[in-house]
């Protein structure tokens, strides 16, 4: 029987986008590597997901992914503007880019929640301000394991 229960977890701290690969030199050879900040964040996402899974097997079919990114309100803003931001009247058009954060979370969940992020077929993503910066993730399986092609 397929498990259609969503996997829900929270990644604490400011959202972090996937950094561009960097090129380093090892001897006479150039080598690509992931920036340390990205690697650290992907590790944090994977840990939060593993805790939420609690031994559940990998999802093998298509999934819907919800990502709610909560950015800190700038302390330099007036009290009025901060209140407007927390009420959702001012939207965060700040780094990290929504698509880069989505990419970091998806890559971190490979081999943890699903086999590969190609299984993500629907995405809902929102950026807001909050007093407690975090990323809330929800992964919903969309079909039974035997129903895929």
Query: Residue 140: CB partners within 8 Å, gap ≥ 6?
Result: 4, 6, 63, 64, 65, 66
For 96, counting Cβ atoms within 10 Å of its Cβ (0-12 exposed, 13-18 middle, 19+ buried), the class is buried
Tens-place pLDDT, residues 23-52: 777 777 777 666 677 788 888 999 999 999
Average pLDDT over residues 114-130: 95
CA atoms of 149 and 119, how far apart (whole Å): 12
Q: What is the pTM of this model?
A: 0.82
More confident residue, 75 or 31: 75
Is the separation of the CB atoms in 111 and 59 below 8 Å? no
Domains of the chain: 7-147 (3.30.1330.70)
User: Band of the pLDDT at 144, cuts 50, 70, 90?
Assistant: low
Which range has the top average pLDDT, 1-15, 66-80, 92-106? 66-80
């Amino acid at each position: 029987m397929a498990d259609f229960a969503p996997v829900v977890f929270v990644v604490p701290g400011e959202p972090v986008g996937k950094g561009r690969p960097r090129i380093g030199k090892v001897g006479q050879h150039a080598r690509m590597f992931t920036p340390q900040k990205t690697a650290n964040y992907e590790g944090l996402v994977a840990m939060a997901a593993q805790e939420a899974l609690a031994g559940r097997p990998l999802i093998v079919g298509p999934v819907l992914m919800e990502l709610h990114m909560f950015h800190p309100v700038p302390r330099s803003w007036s009290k009025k503007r901060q209140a407007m931001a927390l009420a959702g009247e001012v939207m965060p058009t700040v780094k990290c880019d929504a698509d880069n954060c989505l990419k970091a979370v998806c890559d971190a969940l490979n081999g943890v929640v699903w086999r590969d992020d190609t299984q993500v077929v629907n995405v809902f993503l929102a950026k807001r301000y909050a007093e407690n910066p975090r990323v809330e993730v929800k992964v919903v399986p969309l079909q039974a394991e035997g129903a895929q092609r």
